[in-house]
Amino acid sequence: MLTKVVVSIFASTITIICEIGIWLLLIVSLISGWQFHGFMGAILGLAVGFFFAVFFFGGFLMLIDIRKAVKAIEGKNQTSI
């Protein structure tokens, strides 16, 4: 019982942390690109930041999405039994 509560809190917290982390990463990459090379640097920095966010945060977000899908399937199976 306690483990389910801990996992539930962790899943909701990690989603929020990932969302904030992605936005902060994109903002920082945009600003740092702007400071080094102006407008084109900002676009390049934003693109590099986006790809880094996809590779770094993508795995966490996929695991969270899979967990939600499995939970929905379990809920459907419990109501049909």
Q: Does the pLDDT at position 81 exceed 70?
A: no
The reported pLDDT for the residue numbered 68 is: 87
Q: Give CA–CA dist 77/18, Å, rounded.
A: 30
At 34-74, the pLDDT tens digits run 999 999 999 999 999 999 999 999 988 898 889 889 989 98
Q: Write down the pLDDT at residue 47.
A: 96
